[in-house]
Amino acid sequence: GAVVSQHPSRVICKSGTSVKIECRSLDFQATTMFWYRQFPKQSLMLMATSNEGSKATYEQGVEKDKFLINHASLTLSTLTVTSAHPEDSSFYICSASKGGSATQYFGPGTRLLVL
């Protein structure tokens, strides 16, 4: 199997606070993890790619100081949305891949609402 979990599934926070989202690969070691954002009725937008033990690679237009990514182990990556604002409200999805494979396995997503 290839199961990926995310926590929390939903979070509501006040503007200006920081929110941390965890992504875990439960039954395999993920050499690479990815963070996506999906706006309503749109495709998945890749935000960043993270490899265990190294700095994340951010896509163009994604603020690395705004979206902090840590990939501390082969089974855990975290995304922290710092000083969240209402425009950060979105559906955030992580995925993980096994070494040498382009197939990504996705988590269930986290719905973030910033008031």
Partner 1 sequence: DQQVKQNSPSLSVQEGRISILNCDYTNSMFDYFLWYKKYPAEGPTFLISISSIKDKNEDGRFTVFLNKSAKHLSLHIVPSQPGDSAVYFCAASAYIGNEKLTFGTGTRLTIIP
Nearest residue (CB) to partner 1, 94 versus 114: 94
Nearest residue (CB) to partner 1, 40 versus 86: 40
Contacts of 60 (CB under 8 A, 6+ apart): none
With CB under 8 A as the contact rule, the residue among 18, 73, 83, 101 that binds partner 1 is 101
d(CA 96, CA 88): 23
With CB under 8 A as the contact rule, the residue among 1, 61, 87, 103 that binds partner 1 is 103
3-state helix, strand, coil in the chain (%, to 5): 5, 55, 45
Residue 81 lies near partner 1 (rule: CB under 8 A): no
With CB under 8 A as the contact rule, the residue among 25, 34, 69, 90 that binds partner 1 is 34
Nearest residue (CB) to partner 1, 57 versus 82: 57
SS3 per residue for 5-20: EEECCEEEECCCCCEE
Show the tokens assigned to 94: 């992580």
The footprint of partner 1 (CB under 8 A) covers 2, 4, 6, 32, 34, 42-44, 46, 49, 91, 93-95, 97, 100-109, 111
